[in-house]
Amino acid sequence: MKTEKEIEEFRKDIEQRLIDVSKLPDPIGAMKYYQGALRTLEWMTTGKDI
C-alpha cells in the first residue's frame, strides 16, 4: 500500500510527463496514456471518476 506522500509524488511525476509529451514524436498518444493514468489514480484513491 502506498502512502499519501508517495501517491502525491507519483501524481506530480505523471503531471510533469503530461506537460513534457509535446516533445515526443506522437504527443497525442502519449497524452492520452498519461491522462488515463491520472484518471485511474484519482479513481483508485478517491473512488471518483474525473
Does position 49 have pLDDT exceeding 70, yes or no?
Answer: no
Q: What confidence score (pLDDT) does residue 50 get?
A: 62
Is pLDDT larger for residue 12 or for residue 50? 12
Give SS3 for 47: coil
Neighbours of 20 (CB within 10 A): 12
pLDDT band at 10 (very low <50, low <70, confident <90, very high): confident
Is pLDDT larger for residue 42 or for residue 24? 42
| Domain locations along the chain | 11-42
Q: What confidence score (pLDDT) does residue 40 get?
A: 87
pTM of the entire structure? 0.64
Closest CA to 39 of 49, 31, 30: 49
